[in-house]
Amino acid sequence: MLIRRPPDIPPSEITPRSVYLCRRELLTGAAGVAALAALPNSLARAAPAAFPKSPFSTDETATRRKDATSYNNFYEFGTDKADPAAKAGALTTHPWSVTIDGLVAKPQTLALEDIVASVTLEERIYRLRCVEGWSMVIPWIGFALADLLKRAEPLGSARFVAFETLVRPEEMPAQRGLFQPLPWPYREGLRLDEAMHPLTILATGLYGESQLPSQNGAPLRLVVPWKYGFKSIKSIVRISLVEAQPETTWQALAADEYGFYSNVNPEVDHPRWSQATERRIGEGSGLFAKRRPTLKFNGYGDQVAELYAGMDLRANY
Amino acid sequence: MRTTERRHTAAPAAGIAAQRAARAAAWRAAIRPGSWTLYTLGLAPAAWTFLLAVSDQLGADPLKALERSLGLWALRFLVLSLALSPLRQLGGPNLVRYRRMVGLLAFFYALFHVTVYVCLDQQLDPGAIWKDIVKRPYITVGLASFLILVPLAATSNGPAIKRLGGATWQRLHRWVYLAAAGAALHFIMLVKAWPVEPFVYAAIVAGLLLIRIAFRIPAATGKKARRTPMTKTQDAHDDAYWRAKLTPEQYRVLREGGTEQPFTGAHLDTHAEGHFTCAACGTQLFASDTKFESGTGWPSFDQALPGAITSLKDISHGMVRTEVRCATCGSHLGHVFDDGPTGTGKRYCINSVCLNHEATDPKGSE
């Protein structure tokens, strides 16, 4: 009598860990909803947990949450700054996984929950300077990018880190149709020493909340406070360690306007506008805000200027 | 006098009729080109956006939103002002009489846009503004477009047209195409990446410019061919005679078959009793009581004096029309159409510059 071995379970039938974890989260979430229903006065937004304050935080007044979450550049949802808040609601951020590959000893794909569980989240209140000439102060919740990169054990040959945003046309309206503002995926990059710098974080939340609103780059985004905002790539799905300087989206689109470094620098103008001053969103009741001088490295020169010692910042804009 | 009499005889019906007439008159006054009602309507977006901006309802960056909205409305009105003439030529409604108002609204919005940039965005910092103008091509282009609009707005009135003469005025106002192209370019140059909106506006401006050129070529080439010589009349004079006798604008219209700018003529609102005569030879052409308000911007009559005019087929400008000339001296006067609102069914659309008015003295003196 022939006893046949049962066929292997095809990989497609295995519930991914992230989905399995989400199911558990759904249950706890349901419990949370029940608890909220019992407390009619409590806000629907998750109650801010107490995150440790980071010494890297600025003591400047934070931008209103409503402004920081309604005025966004996230071209996957449209080029108008109101588009992300209006259209990112449909973005599925659970399950979410991030692939770390390239020149690492341990290439891996990690569920977001795994990443968050392995780090200590803290609050970092950073200035954000957009290349367009406006700025905000945002209390991020996040952790040092270095902590994640170390898990994958970068090889000695790795000199740069390349990042990629999600491509999902069915949930990202500007990724479909005849007229698309950018080539996808959105790509960014850092030098490895910039990526390993303690100021460089991956954010998972803001304003005391553990989760990011989708329009701010949920569920995981980069924050590099001394560079123009577009360097801080949103909704990251892939981090690759590479040897050569990676091509980035804006550099590919207009290399004379957006350099690889894109450090905030009042002395080097954007070809189409001055970078000497900025308008802080929410100041002076909006219409009558006084422009403030833009600070070199967005005011983080003490910590990061040494990264660029001896470099011509005008040539390496 | 007549109305009061009527009111006495048939009180209720006449009352309602009078009310209706008053309402119709009020409505006509409201939609008259350049009425306060229409200007208020046209400027409402500016007032509304400003209110939203000062009351924190324009998002995180109300200044940029206000600045951009004003600029966009300037571009929209510019496009609209260019679209009115093609709209008529392509068989749409004739709204050309609103063109001056629409053009002025475009200028006002451009002025607000520049004001917000200078006062609120750059906070009256002359150094920063100067650097922007010389170093930022999109600012240079935008400012140039605005500067073009300034003389156009300043000459958008009857006296200025008379002072400049129709032909010069028209040549000056053709610059509006450059201003519109500049404004569209300014929009494209200031955005990042490839958003659709600025390119849509640029395409519309380009399309309007093409329509303009397309309509102009047959007009220009057809001009010489279609012109029936204006000499076969009993009062034949040579060209030198007319050049000496007529003003350049009169010569262009009467002897070259040109057309004056609508809403510019001296006789648009002439209603005094008497006759209108040929500006070239003095022959009586139309009785004053046959004149009516057509809204076209040219004096209009529902009939001519018997034998005063001759008509010819005119196929210029891609249209089939009936040209009207003075029967005595053969000078061009205008056109006649079969869409008159009165019993005659005719609408004699006559250039004001071709007419003089001879008043019948009401007191009968002299």
pLDDT in tens, B58-70: 888 899 999 999 9
Chain A residue closest in CA terms to B190: A272
Does any domain span residue B228?
Answer: no
Tens of pLDDT, residues B214-245: 876 544 444 444 455 555 554 567 788 888 88
DSSP state of A140: E
CA distance A126 to A145: 15
Of A138, A151, A142, the C-alpha closest to A100 is A151
Instruction: Kindly state the tokens that stand for B64.
Output: 């940029």
Rounded Cα gap, residues B44 and B112, in angstroms: 13
Provide the CATH number for the domain around residue B317: 2.170.150.20
Q: Which domain holds residue B197?
A: 31-220
Backbone angles phi, psi at B183, to 5 degrees: -65, -40
Helix-helix angle B36-54:B99-115, to 10 degrees:
20
pLDDT given for residue B220 in this prediction: 41
Tell me A104's DSSP state.
B
Torsions phi, psi for A224 (to 5 deg): -120, 95
The mean pLDDT value for B6-12 works out to: 55
Interhelix angle for B11-30 vs B36-54, to 10°? 60
Residues B68 and B105 in one domain: yes
Question: Are the beta carbons of A182 and B196 separated by less than 8 Å?
Answer: no
Same domain, B178 and B96: yes
- Which chain B residues are within 8 Å of A286, Cβ to Cβ? 53, 56, 58, 60-63
pLDDT above 90 as % of chain B: 39
Q: What is the pLDDT of residues B13-62, one digit of tens each?
A: 778 888 888 888 888 888 887 788 899 999 999 999 999 988 888 888 89
The radius of gyration of chain B from alpha carbons, rounded to an integer in Å, stands at: 25
**For chain B, how many structural domains are there in total?**
2
Domain count of the fold of chain A: 1
Please report whether residue A60 resides in a domain: yes
Out of B56, B132, B138, closest to residue A285 by CB? B56
Per-residue pLDDT at A112 exceeds 60: yes
Tokens of B7: 């009111």
Whole-angstrom distance, CA of residue A138 vs CA of residue A197: 19
End-to-end CA distance of chain A: 75
Scanning every residue of chain B, which has its alpha carbon at the shortest distance from the alpha carbon of A282? Answer: B60
| Ramachandran angles phi, psi of A74, nearest 5° | -150, 85
Please state the separation of Cα B131 from the chain's center in Å: 38
Q: Do B132 and A274 touch (CB under 8 A)?
A: yes
Using DSSP's 3-state secondary structure scheme, residue B236 falls into coil
Binary contact (A71, B60; C-beta < 8 A) = yes
Reported as a pLDDT band with limits 50, 70 and 90, residue B362 is: low
Across the interface, whether the CB atoms of B66 and A287 are under 8 A apart is answered: yes
Interface of B with A in 172-191 (CB under 8 A): 189-191
Q: What is the amino acid identity at position A266? A: P
Please indicate whether, in this complex, the C-beta atoms of A75 and B120 are within 8 angstroms of each other: no
Q: How many CB pairs under 8 A join A and B?
A: 73
Which residue, of B185, B220, B255, is where some domain finishes? B220
Determine if the peptide bond prior to B262 is cis (ω within 30°).
no
Tokens 């106002």 correspond to what residue?
A: B173
Cβ-defined contact of A79 to B120 (cutoff 8 Å): no
Any CB–CB contact under 8 A between B63 and chain A? yes
Q: Which residue has the higher pLDDT, A32 or B100?
A: B100
Interface contact flag, A67 B64, Cβ < 8 Å: no
Per CB-CB distance under 8 Å, the chain B contacts of A132 are 192
Query: Which residues on chain A place their C-beta less than 8 Å from a C-beta of chain B?
Result: 63-64, 66-68, 70-71, 75, 79-82, 132, 134, 179-182, 253, 269, 272-274, 276-277, 279, 281-282, 285-291
* Burial class of residue B328 (count of CB atoms within 10 Å of its CB; 0-12, 13-18, 19+): buried
Overall average pLDDT of the A44-60 stretch: 77
CA angle in degrees (0–180, nearest 5) for A151-A156-A161: 65
DSSP label of A258: S
Catalytic residue among B278, B329, B349, B354: B349
- At A32, the pLDDT band (50, 70, 90 cuts) reads very low
Q: Using the predicted structure, report yes or no on whether residue A39 has a pLDDT greater than 60.
A: no
Residue B365, domain member (yes or no): no
Contact A75 B190 (CB under 8 A): no
B38 vs A16, higher pLDDT: B38
Give the C-alpha separation, A315 to B329, whole Å: 77
Residue B225 CA: distances (Å) to CA of B216, B256, B314: 15, 12, 11
Asked whether residue A90 is domain-assigned, the answer is: yes
Q: What is the pLDDT of residue B65?
A: 92
**Residue B196 and residue B71 share a domain:** yes
The predicted-structure confidence for A160-174, as pLDDT tens digits, reads as follows 999 999 999 999 999
What is the C-alpha separation between A302 and A4, in angstroms, rounded?
Answer: 69
pLDDT at B365 over 50: no
- The answer to whether residue B26 is domain-embedded is no
Distance CA A228, CA A128 (A): 7
Domain residues for the domain of A128 are 48-254
- Residue B124 with chain A: CB contacts under 8 Å: none
**Do B57 and B132 have their domain in common?**
yes
How far is Cα A55 from Cα B204, in angstroms, rounded to an integer? 55
Strand partners, B300: B292, B349
In a domain, A1, yes or no: no
Answer whether B66 touches A (CB < 8 Å).
yes
Label residues A16-53 b or e (16+ Cβ within 10 Å = b). Answer: eebeebbeeeeeeeeeeeeeeeeeeeeeeeeeeeebee
CA B300, chain centre distance (Å): 16
With an 8 Å Cβ cutoff, are A180 and B194 in contact?
yes
**Which residue is closest to B196 within chain A, CA to CA?**
A179
Residue A266 lies in a domain: no
Q: Return the DSSP state at A308.
A: G
- What's the gap in Å between the CA of A237 and the closest CA on chain B? 23
Pick from A127-136, B136-145, B286-295: least confident: B286-295
Nearest residue, CB atoms, B195 vs list A79, A82, A276: A79
In a domain, B225, yes or no: no
In angstroms, rounded to a whole number, what is the distance separating the alpha carbons of residues A299 and B165? 62
Q: Quick one: B183 and B296 in the same domain?
A: no
In the block, which residue shows the tokens 């450090």? A263
For chain B, first and last CA: distance in Å? 28
In chain B, residues 186-245 whose CB comes closer than 8 Å to chain A: 189-196
Three-state secondary-structure class, residue B340:
coil
Nearest to residue B256, comparing CAs of B338, B323, B328?
Answer: B323
Residues B142 and B174 in one domain: yes
Whether residue B232 lies inside any domain: the answer is: no
Give the closest-approach CA distance of B13 to chain A in angstroms.
57
Whole-number Å distance between alpha carbons of B329 and B57: 67
Running DSSP on this structure, what letter comes out for residue A192? Answer: H
Q: Is A314 within the bounds of a domain?
A: no
Token pair of B151 as six digits: 């003389």
Looking at residue A219, which CATH number applies to its domain? Answer: 3.90.420.10
Q: Is B278 a catalytic residue?
A: no
How close A272 comes to chain B (CA, Å)? 5
DSSP string, A197-222: STT-EEEEEETTBSS--GGGTTT-EE
Residue A289 with chain B: CB contacts under 8 Å = 63
Distance (Å, rounded) from C-alpha A173 to C-alpha A183? 13
Residue pair B164/B155 in contact by the 8 Å Cβ criterion: yes
Residues B58, B199 within the same domain:
yes
Q: Which of B49, B192, B199 would you mutate first to test chain A, the one with the most A CBs within 10 A? A: B192
| A81 contacts in chain B (CB < 8 Å) | 59-61
- The answer on B145 and B253 residing in a single domain is no
Partner-chain residue, chosen from B61, B128, B137, that has the shortest CB–CB distance to A281: B61
Same domain, B251 and B211: no
Q: Please tell me the distance from the alpha carbon of residue A52 to that of residue B312, in angstroms, as a whole number.
A: 92
Q: Where are the beta strands (DSSP E) in A114-248?
A: 122-129, 134-144, 160-165, 187-191, 201-206, 221-223, 236-242
User: Model-level pTM greater than 0.80?
Assistant: no
Question: How far does the CA of residue A178 sit from the closest CA of chain B (Å)?
Answer: 10
Contact A281 B189 (CB under 8 A): no
Cβ–Cβ below 8 Å for B61 and A71: yes
B265 near A CB under 8 A: no
A66 interaction partners in chain B (CB closer than 8 Å): 60
Chain B closest CA to A62's CA: distance in Å?
13
Let me know: does A233 contact A188? Beta carbons within 8 Å: yes
pLDDT-derived band at B2 (thresholds 50, 70, 90) equals: very low
If phi > 0 it is left, if psi is from -120 to 50 it is alpha, else beta; for residue B18 that is alpha
Peptide bond into A84 cis (omega under 30): no
Judge whether residue A242 has pLDDT over 90. yes
**Does B41 reside within a domain?**
yes
